[in-house]
Amino acid sequence: MKSRFVERLQNILCGEAIFLNEDLKAHTSFKIGGPAEVFLEITDISDLLKVTNLCKEEGVGFFVIGNGSNLLVNDEGVEGVIIHLTGKLAGARIEGDVIRAGAGLSLSALAAFTVEEEYTGLEFASGIPGSVGGAVYMNAGAYGGEMKDVVAGVYIIIDGELKYFTNDEMEFSYRHSKVSKLNNAVIVAVDFKLTKGKKEEIQAKIDDLNSRRSEKQPLEYPSAGSTFKRPETGYASQLIEEAGLKGTRVGGAEVSKKHSGFIINVDNATARDVKELIAYVQKVVEEKSGVKLYPEVKML
């Protein structure tokens, strides 16, 4: 990394927010990956705009993470800048008739906020191990609900400007949104339109869904959640199990015996282990069922 770029970063952020060769294992739910050339903790929109504009000026690539829950990071690490949203960009407040949440806020923390404020509609997301920004980026969903059902609008940095997109303008579909087609776009905050409910009922529904999730999913192991997108016919986990792949291992990576839709890190798995296991699962499932599986996990 050019010293000039780092010096310009230091003019924007305090030294405590800039980390060189930061190990990304500590910042992803898979607990896999090499170092980031530059890792930044950014707390407000002003600094985020300045940093992303600086990256553009200097021709330095950047990638934004929240909880790092849907990422598989290369063993050799990544060049450029990793931006971690925190502080004001990971908070929530009520603005008029919407709940405005920073993109870096975890979905579990947002769910807890909705319980305290007695708003219902986001219970389905309480156990999804991701951030608000990541969830909106991929229109995350569970138990019959998706982000598109509760999002009123999204604030996004595009070409150095903060812009607002309504729900319709976000072009939500299965595990997809408008943002995935935009280069270097950064989700900053999201407005959620929810309805008032009773605190005890909201909490009871969250507890029930989290209990069901814990019974069925291998939450005791590091993973990136569901490894594959839902195919056009059937379910990925069913196809993987029918192919006899449950428990299959490559190095420290394993197709979960508890839920075959998950590839888990059981013994210091590397990104190479996971990639090889994903490719093997795809190959065998296609041979046995004729269905091609596509990864849901983002590979960085």
In the chain, CATH 3.90.78.10 sits at 218-299
58 is an active site residue: no
CA nearest neighbour of 253 among 28, 31, 25, 27: 31
Q: Is the pLDDT reported for residue 129 higher than 80?
A: yes
Task: Write the pLDDT tens digit of every residue in 147-167.
Answer: 999 999 999 999 889 999 999
Average pLDDT over residues 105-116: 94
Q: Which residue has the higher pLDDT, 190 or 14?
A: 190
Q: Is the dihedral of CA 166, 169, 174, 177 positive or negative?
A: negative
- φ, ψ of residue 212 to 5 degrees: the values are -65, -40
Name the band, by pLDDT with cuts 50, 70 and 90, for residue 184. Answer: confident
In the chain, CATH 3.30.465.10 sits at 91-214
Catalytic residue among 41, 175, 177, 223: 175
What CATH fold (topology level) applies to the domain 3-87? 3.30.43
Task: Write the pLDDT tens digit of every residue in 31-62.
Answer: 999 999 999 999 999 999 999 999 999 999 99
Task: Write the pLDDT tens digit of every residue in 130-139.
Answer: 899 999 998 9
Catalytic residue among 126, 131, 177, 226: 226
For the chain, what is the mean pLDDT?
93
226 is an active site residue: yes
Name the band, by pLDDT with cuts 50, 70 and 90, for residue 70. Answer: confident
Cβ(187)–Cβ(258) below 8 Å: no
Residue 33 CB burial class (10 angstroms; 0-12, 13-18, ≥19):
buried
| pLDDT score recorded for residue 274 | 97
What distance in Å separates the CA atoms of residue 212 and residue 47, rounded to the nearest whole number?
40
Average pLDDT over residues 12-17: 86
218-299 belongs to which CATH class? alpha beta
| pLDDT score recorded for residue 1 | 62
Q: Is the CATH number 3.30.465.10 carried by domain 91-214?
A: yes
Q: Is the pLDDT reported for residue 88 higher than 80?
A: yes
Q: What is the pTM of this model?
A: 0.90
Contacts of 273 (CB under 8 A, 6+ apart): 250, 251, 252, 253
Q: Is the pLDDT reported for residue 233 higher than 90?
A: no
| pLDDT score recorded for residue 237 | 95
Contacts of 279 (CB under 8 A, 6+ apart): none
In the chain, CATH 3.30.43.10 sits at 3-87
